Every structure is written in C-alpha cells, then in structure tokens.
C-alpha cells in the first residue's frame, strides 16, 4: 500500500513539474504582463512601470524566478498575489468554499440523477426512456455550457424573474433558502453535462453487470427486484464509476470554471478569470498547481476507494 502511494505520488510530481513549467513559461514569455493594467494610470511612464516590475522581481532571469518559486512551493509559500498582496494559498482558500459548494452540489445531484437515468436506461434497454436518455445525453454534451447558462439567465432571471441572475447570496440575507435560490441555476447548468456523462457511463457499466451470473444468482435466490438492483447490479456497476469519478475531476473543475464565469459565482473559476485579466501570475500559477493537485489527489482517492469498495482489488 505505501509503495503504491509512493508510486502514485512520484507520477504526480512529474505531472506537477510539467504543469508548472508550461504555465510559467507561457505566462512569462507572452507579451504584456502584470504592469500593463497600470499603463493608463495618470502620470505613468515606461520607466515607472519598469521600476515596479523590477521591485516585484519580474526582471530577473526566468529560470531563477522559476526555481525560487518552485522551491518555495514546498515550504507552503506560493507567493503573493500581485493584486492584493495576500499569500496565494489564502487567496485560493478564500475562493475555494464557493467552488466546492457549487461543484459538490452539482456532483451529488449528477451522481444521483445520472445513476438513476443510467440504471433505468440499462434495465429497460431500447425502451423509449432509454432512447430519450441516450439522445438527451448526447445533446446535453453538445450544448455549450456557457450558452446554456445565458439562456437560463435570460429565461428564469430576466424574463420570468424567478431566480437571481448571479452571485452566491444576497448581501444581508445569506439564509439557507437564499443560498439555495442562488444555487439552482448554476447547479442545474453544471449538472446537465455531468448527468449526461455520468448516465452514459452508468448505463454501460450497468449493462456490463446486468447480464452477469451473480445477478442471475441473486434473482434465483428469490430476492426482491429492488434488492437485486441495489445490492447486486448497482453496487457492482458503481465500482468502475469510482475510478471514472476520479478521472472526471478535470472535467468537473473545467465545467465549474465555465459556470462560475456565467453566473458571477465568487469561486476559483471567477478568481482564475480575474487573475488572467490582471495578469496576476502568482495566483494563476497557484490555481494551475492547485487544480493539478486536486485532480491528482482525486485520482489517488478514487484508487484508494476502489480498494475499499472492491475486495478483489488490493493495492500493492
């Protein structure tokens, strides 16, 4: 077990170095930079911009900057935001809860709905429901998330006025109900794609299981249909889904980014976009690294969970 984790961590280190290098090089070699936002300030000149860049350490050789940044990662110093000077980790930590709330709610919803749709589609293969679910999932995967969000805002906020067009809560309210009404649209939009993905995979995982001998055994035992479905079919069909869930993290994270931008959700996606706009390199790098770590941890967790959920798998 520890050997396995060490291996995974070793792989992850490679991934992290690669991601950070790519990000760092792209950011620093591209024209423009964090100074340009001040260019139109009154009395600004190139000399002043150069002085500030110098003070921020941006004039040193790129490799020096990279190595300093990278080695400091390990002592928990991810640098300071160019914008508000706060440590990058606490900037990210400040935006993380909103993203987790959105992602978590959407993921739970997608897993529940997706599992249901997928299992039902597999059980009633080729039925009207199955056909509709299959076609529906394909269309859902094809709808641009951000556009779907726009249409939802137009319909439910601007036109009907039922739901807020953005934000996470109303200032001064912040009750549970208030959070809930703000969550509905972004969660629905984010969940749409995830339900589609999850139900498609769940359907094929269920089809793989449903014709297996042990399901027949369970039926031969005279178990109620529901019990056969839950304890034998779904329980086993979910096993490959754990790994899949791990692999889906980048997609969900990417989806959250898109959703946050449309619904002005104050999470990591929003932070990322703002940081791009202001060339806040430390925060951009921080988010890149953080997402990579999140994905890697998610995969690791998924592997460990499979080990727990599937007695045949012993990680070694």
Partner 1 sequence: MNADEKISVAHLSVAFRRGAGYVPVVQGINFNIRAGETLALVGESGSGKSVTSLAVMKLLAQAPKTRIEGSAVVADSSGRAIDLVAMSEQQMRHVRGNRVAMIFQEPLTSLNPVHRVGDQIAEAIRFHDHLSKAQARARALALLEQVGIPEPAQRMQSFPHELSGGMRQRVMIAIALAMEPDVLIADEPTTALDVTVQAQILDLLRNLQKKNGMAILFITHNFGVVAEIADRVMVMYAGRIVEQGSVAQVLSAPRMPYTQGLLAAVPRFEHAGLGQGDLGTIPGFVPDPAAPPAGCAFHPRCAFSIAGRCDSQAPALEEVEHGHQLRCLRWQELTASVECAQGGA
Partner 2 sequence: MSQCDDSEKGNSLFNPTRRQALAMAVIGAAGVMLPLGRPSQAFAAAKAAAAGQVIIGLSQEPTVFNPHMPHIEVDEGIHWNIFDPLFGISPSGEFTPALAVEVPTVANGGISADGLQWKVKLREGVKWHDGTPFTAEDVKYTLELIVNPEFRSGRRAGHDLVRDITVVSPTEIHWRMEKSYAPYASILSWTFMVPKHVLSAAADVNNAPFNNAPIGTGPFKWASRVAGDHIQLKANPDYYGTLAQIDSVIFKYIPDLTVLYTQFKTGDIDVTAMQGITPDHYEEAKGLAERTVVVLPVATVESVALNLERPQFKDPAVRKALYLAIDKKTIIDELYYGLVLPTETYMPQQSAYYNPNLPKQGFNIDEANKILDQAGWKPGAGGIREKDGVRLSFTNSTTAGNQIREQAQQFMQQTWLAIGVEMKISNLPPAVMWGDYWMQSKFDSAVVGINFLTGADPDTRDYFGSTSTSAKGGAGQNTMQYSNAKVDELLAQGASLQDVAQRKAVYLQVQEIIRDDLPMLPLFQYTYLRGYKSQLKGFAGNINLRIEPWNVNTWSWA
Partner 3 sequence: MSTVATYPSFSGRLAWFSNPTLARFMRHKLAVLGVVMITLLVLACVFGPYLLHYTDLSIDIRNRFSPPLTGNHYLGTDALGRDTAARLLNAGRISLTVGFFAMLISTLIGTLIGVVAGYYRGWIGAALMRFVDAFLSFPSVFLVLVLAAFIKPSPTMITLIIAVTSWMEISRIVEAEIRSLRERDFTLAARMVGASHRWIMFRELVPNAIGPIIVAATLTIANAILLEAYISFLGYGIQPPLPSWGNMLNAAQQYLGNAPWLAIIPGLAITLAVTSFNFIGDGLRDALDGRSDLK
Residues that bind partner 1 (CB under 8 A): 123, 125-126, 211-214, 216-225, 227, 231-232, 235-236, 239, 309-312
Do 185 and 156 meet the contact criterion of CB atoms below 8 Å apart?
yes
Among 273, 301, 304, 309, binds partner 3 (CB under 8 A): 273
Where would I find the H helices in the chain?
2-29, 46-55, 62-73, 88-123, 128-142, 145-152, 176-210, 213-220, 225-227, 235-263, 268-277, 281-309
Task: Mark 7-26 with x for binding to partner 3 (rule: CB under 8 A) and - for no binding.
Answer: ----x--xx--xx--xx--x
**Least Å from the CB of residue 67 to partner 2:** 21
CA distance 149 to 286: 27
Cα distance between residue 214 and residue 207, in whole Å: 13
Return phi, psi of residue 273, to 5°: -65, -45
How far apart are the C-alpha atoms of 168 and 102, rounded to whole Å? 9
Among 39, 44, 64, 151, binds partner 3 (CB under 8 A): 151
Q: Directed axis angle between helix 88-123 and helix 176-210, to 10°?
A: 50
Query: Does residue 27 interact with partner 3 by CB under 8 A?
Result: yes
Residue 96 engages partner 2 in binding (rule: CB under 8 A): no
Q: How far is CA 245 from CA 42, 136, 211, 273, in A?
A: 51, 21, 24, 26
Residue 157 contacts partner 2 per CB under 8 A: yes
DSSP per residue over 232-253, as a string?
IIIHHHHHHHHHHHHHHHHHHH
Among partner 2, partner 1, partner 3, none, residue 43 binds (CB under 5-8 Å by kind): partner 2
Residue 1 in the binding site for partner 3 (CB under 8 A)? no
- Decide: is 33 part of the binding site for partner 2 (CB under 8 A): yes
Q: Taking the complex as a whole, how short is the minimal distance between the CB of residue 149 and partner 2, in angstroms?
A: 11
**Identity of the residue, 110 or 261, whose beta carbon is nearer to partner 3 in the bound complex:** 261
Stretch that binds partner 2, among 116-124, 132-140, 164-172, 206-214 (CB under 8 A): 164-172
Torsion from C-alpha of 66, 71, 75, 78, nearest 10 degrees: 10
Give the total of residues touching partner 2 (CB under 8 A).
55
Place of tokens 């993905």: 197
Contact residues for partner 2 (CB under 8 A)?
Answer: 30-49, 52, 55-56, 80-81, 83-86, 91, 94-95, 98, 153, 157-158, 161, 164-168, 170-172, 263-264, 266-267, 270-271, 273-274, 277, 279
The contact set with partner 3 (CB under 8 A) reads: 11, 14-15, 18-19, 22-23, 26-27, 30-32, 135, 138-139, 141-148, 150-151, 153-154, 158-159, 250-251, 253-254, 257-258, 261, 272-273, 276-277, 279, 284, 287-288, 291-292, 295-296, 299
């Amino acid at each position: 077990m520890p050997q396995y984790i060490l291996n995974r961590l070793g792989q992850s280190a490679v991934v992290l170095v690669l991601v950070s290098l790519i990000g760092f090089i792209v950011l620093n070699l591209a024209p423009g930079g964090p100074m340009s936002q001040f260019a139109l300030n009154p009395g600004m000149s190139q000399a002043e911009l150069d002085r500030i860049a110098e003070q921020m350490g941006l004039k040193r050789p790129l490799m020096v900057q990279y190595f300093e940044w990278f080695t400091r990662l390990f002592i928990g110093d991810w640098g300071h935001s160019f914008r508000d000077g706060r440590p990058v980790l606490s900037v990210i930590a400040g935006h993380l809860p909103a993203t987790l709330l959105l992602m978590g709610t959407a993921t739970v919803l997608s897993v529940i709905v997706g599992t249901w749709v997928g299992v039902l589609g597999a059980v009633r293969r080729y039925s009207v429901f199955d056909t509709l679910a299959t076609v529906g999932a394909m269309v859902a995967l094809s709808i641009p998330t951000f556009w779907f969000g726009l249409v939802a805002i137009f319909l439910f906020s601007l036109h009907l006025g039922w739901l807020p067009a953005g934000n996470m809560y109303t200032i001064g309210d912040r009750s549970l109900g208030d959070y809930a009404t703000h969550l509905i649209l972004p969660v629905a939009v984010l969940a749409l794609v995830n339900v589609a993905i999850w139900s498609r995979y769940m359907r094929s995982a269920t089809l793989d299981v449903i014709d297996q001998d042990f399901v027949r055994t369970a039926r031969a035992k005279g178990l109620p249909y529901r019990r056969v479905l839950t304890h034998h079919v779904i329980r086993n069909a979910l096993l490959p889904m754990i790994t899949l869930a791990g692999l889906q993290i980048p997609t969900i994270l990417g989806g959250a980014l898109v959703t946050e931008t449309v619904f002005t959700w104050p999470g990591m996606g929003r932070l990322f976009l703002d940081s791009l706009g202001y060339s806040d390199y430390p925060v951009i790098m921080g988010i890149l690294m953080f997402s990579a770590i999140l994905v890697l941890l998610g995969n690791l967790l998924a592997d460990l969970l499979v080990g727990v959920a599937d007695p045949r798998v012993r990680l070694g």
